[in-house]
Structure 1
Amino acid sequence: MEPLRKGEHEGFRDFVNALDSRYEIPDTTILKKKLLPEYYENVKQKLVTALSKAEHVSVTTDLWTSIANEGILSVTCHFFHNEKLIAPLLEVVKMEGSHNAENIASMLDATLSKWDIRSKCEAITTDNAQTMINAAAKLHIRHIPCFAHTLNLTMSTLASDKLRAIQRELNKPELKVIQEVPTR
């Protein structure tokens, strides 16, 4: 999870040289223009082959606003391959325009079609946002609400109610729970 230019740093080069003086760290340009694209294409072809053999898939998707105030949509696919459940991330894309059900459905449809799994998609799991529920309905794909999201909402509500009750009982000012996400 280091930047590609890490290989340009003298200390890192010395470290690698100490490990194996015969190894040459690839140039950043070669990494970006040749090695990573080749690796990506290799992995993508394996995924395309595995997806072509899958009878059924389901997807999870989420839409959020980045710190740069851009809509970001992710799509992860879930299916069995060689009797093993795998879950590759298919897309993380910037969502232009309104975050309404029509646009979300359109982007999901494009992703499912791009990977040739549209007809195999049995279910879409999302948070409980009405736009996500409506997007799944527009695609005529069964919507499954995310259990963890539902549980988190339920527990947050119960915990906040309990906190308020204790504060009232102790005649303390009612404070709110500090959320770990600035948008909540």
Structure 2
Amino acid sequence: MSIVEDKGFLNYTHSLNPSYTPPSQKTIIGSLIPAAYSACKQKLMAEVQREALSVCLTTDSWTCSVNDSYVAITIHYTTLDLEFKSVLLDCAHYGQKHSGELLSRHLKNTIELWGLTGKVMLAITDNAKNIVNAINLLGLRHFGCYAHTINLVVEDVLKIVKEHLDKIKNVETYFKRSASATEKLLKYQTQQQVSTPKKLKQSVPTRWNSTYFMLQRFFELE
């Protein structure tokens, strides 16, 4: 946002139009963006209330790398003209504990705000107890995310080879934390005339296929 107050940018805009004065960073953040957001939200609300006779709701909550918590709520519906639409109702910083009761209250407030009371036919979420409890408290029909269910099954099966996976993860972590080791790995591949030198991959607990890709790359570079 601060680029509007940068000397080079101001010289640039002045050369295009000497009579134009760009808005300040404070104006953009404090006025222009909130105004644009409000206008967009009101337009979407009117559209949803006009077109959505019934909706499917999806929601998720997570904590980012700097420990800030967020919650997102999206609806999906088909218009009378059979046009499929998805609308993000809310994606907000969520400072409170992700308990089922608090999530339920947040979902209820959002549903009421958008005029969707009685229109939510199905809610799809992951299988975490807090969000399942939240949906149950609202009395909505719930369906667990199919991809998340499969991931739980595969992750449970992978416990059989956990010792081997941990060893491979340690190797990947070593190269990830050592720039010199990574450089040697890439250099060695070049010496072996590998057309495109590659790095190791790390698995992610919430994506079972990332373990597959990690193993695939490990054996490729073994």
In the superposition, the TM-score normalised over structure 2's length comes to 0.62
* Matched letter for residue 59 of structure 1: L
Taking the aligned partners of 1:159 and 1:12, their CA distance within structure 2 comes to 54
- What CA RMSD, in Å, does the superposition of the two structures yield over aligned residues? 3.0
Q: For residues 146 and 176 of structure 1, do their structure 2 counterparts lie closer, same or farther at Cα, with a shift above 3 Å needed?
A: farther
Bigger share in strand: 1
| Alpha-carbon displacement from aligned partner over 1:36-55 (angstroms, at most 9, x marks no partner) | 12211211111111111110
* Matched letter for residue 73 of structure 1: V
1:128 deviation in Å?
0.8
Higher Cα Rg, which structure: 2
| Alpha-carbon displacement from aligned partner over 1:90-112 (angstroms, at most 9, x marks no partner) | 2414142x433222211111111
Taking the aligned partners of 1:156 and 1:149, their CA distance within structure 2 comes to 10
Query: What is the correspondence of 1:20-169 to structure 2 with a 5 Å cutoff?
Result: 21-22=16-17, 24-53=21-50, 54-81=52-79, 83-96=83-96, 98-159=97-158, 161=160, 167=164
8 A contact 1:91–1:111 mirrored in 2:
no
Q: Which runs of 5+ in 1 are unaligned?
A: 168-172
Percent of residue pairs bearing the same amino acid type: 27
Alignment: residue pair count: 168
Higher relative contact order (CA 8 A, sep 6+): 1
In the superposition, the TM-score normalised over structure 1's length comes to 0.73
1:70 deviation in Å?
4.8
Q: For residues 14 and 154 of structure 1, do their structure 2 counterparts lie closer, same or farther at Cα, with a shift above 3 Å needed?
A: farther
Q: For residues 158 and 6 of structure 1, do their structure 2 counterparts lie closer, same or farther at Cα, with a shift above 3 Å needed?
A: farther
Q: Which runs of 5+ in 2 are unaligned?
A: 170-201, 206-222
